[in-house]
Amino acid sequence: MSRLLHISASPRGAASESLAIAESFLDAYREVHGDAVDHFDLWDGTLPAFGPAGAGAKMTVLAGDDPSGDQAAAWRAARAVFERFDSYDRYLFSVPMWNSSVPYVLKQFIDVVSQPGWVFAFDPEKGYSGLLQGKKAAVVYTSAVYGEGRPPAFGRDHQAPFLEGWLRWTGITELSTVEFRPNLATADAETGRRAAHAEARELGKRF
């Protein structure tokens, strides 16, 4: 049976638009597919750092050797996160826009799991190839100022291109998205909010 992991990148709890839209998706998904859904809150304190020891371990592995000492410990911690992630075949990401891109904790997650032999292989002549074949993902994007068609002074989108580029790089090419991008200067965002929740529910039913 397919299993879905909701990976949330907002720390705002009940005030989060992206989490609320994700819940509309999940409610509809459960109606059709049952309760095989888990939640990985990237702000729950379990995500390990990937600093000097982790970077050293990655280069050691790329060189064909086994990490040891602090590097081995960092590698094991990263591997545990990857194994949790890889045990699912469907993903829902809820992602608010921060400073035209994604929250840093989502970038941290990506840096932790994006390791050789886990999400990618590398050939000196052919380059990278993604190893997460046969999986699919849905993404909820929100932003409070940026929106397609607005002038550059309202921001630029480094959010969706970054995340979707990474997903495709890992081998996940079946992607669906829902966006809610009200302009803070607009008094009434409710119409767009209702539309985003309705779209999320429909996507959840057929995902």
In sequence order, the 6+-apart residues with CB closer than 8 A to the CB of 103 are 9, 10, 11, 42, 95, 96
Residues 6+ apart with CB under 8 A from 60: 66, 67, 71
- Specify the DSSP element, H or E, that contains 142: strand 136-142
Confirm whether residue 10 is marked as ligand binding. Answer: yes
Please answer whether residues 207 and 3 qualify as being in contact, where contact means their C-beta atoms are separated by less than 8 angstroms.
no
Q: What is the torsion angle, in degrees rounded to the nearest 10, for the CA atoms of residue 184, residue 141, residue 178 and residue 29? A: -120
Burial class (CB in 10 A: 0-12, 13-18, 19+), 124: exposed
Nearest of 175, 178, 155 to residue 166 by alpha carbon: 175
> Is 129 one of the annotated binding-site residues?
no
3-state SS, residue 135? coil
Is 17 one of the annotated binding-site residues? Answer: yes
End-to-end CA separation in angstroms for the chain: 14
Please, are residues 183 and 147 in contact by the beta-carbon 8 Å criterion? yes
Binding-site residue positions: 10, 16-18
Binding-site residue positions for FMN: 10, 16-18
